A and B are shown apart, each in its own frame.
Chain A
Amino acid sequence: MTPEGRSAARKRAARAMDGATILLIVLLIVQIWLLMASVESWLAGHRGVALPAALMSGALFCGCVGLVMLAHRAGRTARTPGTGGAPPPSS
C-alpha cells in the first residue's frame, strides 16, 4: 500500500468516525429531550409515559452503543497493517 493509499484510508476512517460522532450527538439530544419531556409529563399527571419513554430511551442507548462500536471498528481498521492503515502502536 502506498503512502497515498494509507492516507486516503485514514481519511475515510476519520470521516466515518466523524459521521458516527455526529449521529451520536443527534441521538443524545433526542434522548435528553425525551427525558425532559417525560419527566414534565409525569409531573403533570400523565403517568403512562414512563414505560414507553424508558423503552425508547433504551433503544436510543443501544443505537449509541452501536455507533460507538462502529466508530471504534473504523478507527481500528485504519490503523491495522494490510488494510490500508498505519501499524499498531509499539506498546
Chain B
Amino acid sequence: MSDKPVSCPREKRLWSEEFSVAAGEQSFVERRQLGKFLLLTSAAMFAGQIWLLAKDAFTKRVHTIWPRKAVALESELAVGAAKVFAYPGPQDNCLLIRVDEERYVAYSQKCTHLSCAVVYSAGNRRLECPCHEGYFSIEDGHVIQGPPPRPLPRIELERSGGQLYAKGITVFGQEEAR
C-alpha cells in the first residue's frame, strides 16, 4: 500500500459505484441526525417549562368566585355521619362529615391520586380511597398514607340558621392566593 493521499472525489472508481454508501461517512451522518433529534427533544422539554411558567403567570391573575350553596341541615347528620353533595358544579361530588356535635368538615370526594371517589370510614376517622388505599385525615384533609401526592381540596362551610352552606374551595398550596 502506498502513502498516496485520498483520491479526488471526482475520480469515480469502480468500487465507489458499486458500493455507493460510504460506511464511515454514514456513521457521522447518523450521529449528527441523532444529535439533532436529541436537541429537538430538549427544545420540546424547554418549551414545556415555558408553557408551565406562562400557565402559572396566567392563573395567578384569575380569582374564582365561588357560589354560596346550601348543602344540608345541621340536624340532618348524626355525629360521625357523612353526606355526599355536589359543589360547585353538579358533577363535583363532595363529602360533608359531622366530626362531633359542633364541628362539620367537607372535602372534595375526588382523590388527588387518580380521581377515584373517596369514602368516609367512621371507624378509623379518616377518608379512604378504595382504589389504591390512599388515606386522608378528616381534620384537614392531609394525606396519611398511600400514593396521593397532595391533600384533598377542602370545602369552606358556613353555618347559618340551622343550615350549612358551602362557600368556597381551598386547594392545598393556594390558600395565600385567595
Contacts and interface: CB of A to CB of B under 8 A. Distances in A.
Contacts of A43: 149-150
Interface of B: 1, 3, 5-6, 8-10, 24-25, 27-28, 31-32, 34-36, 38-39, 41-43, 45-46, 48-50, 52-53, 55-56, 60, 149-150, 171-174
Interface of A: 1-3, 6, 10, 13-14, 17-18, 20-21, 24-25, 27-28, 31-32, 34-35, 38-40, 42-47, 50-51, 53-54, 57-58, 60-61, 64-65, 67-68, 71-72, 75, 78-79, 86-90
B35 A31 contact: no
B46 A51 contact: no
Given A17-B28, A38-B52, A86-B25, A24 B38 contact: yes
25 contacts: A2-B3, A14-B27, A21-B34, A24-B39, A28-B38, A31-B42, A31-B46, A35-B49, A42-B52, A43-B150, A44-B150, A44-B172, A47-B174, A54-B46, A57-B45, A57-B48, A60-B46, A61-B46, A68-B35, A68-B39, A71-B31, A71-B35, A75-B32, A86-B24, A88-B9
Q: Mostly helix, strand, loop or mixed at chain B's interface?
A: helix
A29 to B, nearest CB: 10
Closest 4 CB pairs of A and B: A45-B173, A90-B9, A57-B49, A50-B56
A31 B31 contact: no
Given A45-B174, A54-B50, A87 B24 contact: no
Contacts of A6: 6
Nearest to B57: A50
A1 B5 contact: yes
B35 A24 contact: yes
A47 B56 contact: yes
Contact of B41 (A28, A39, A50): A28
Given A3-B3, A20-B35, A64-B39, A50 B52 contact: yes
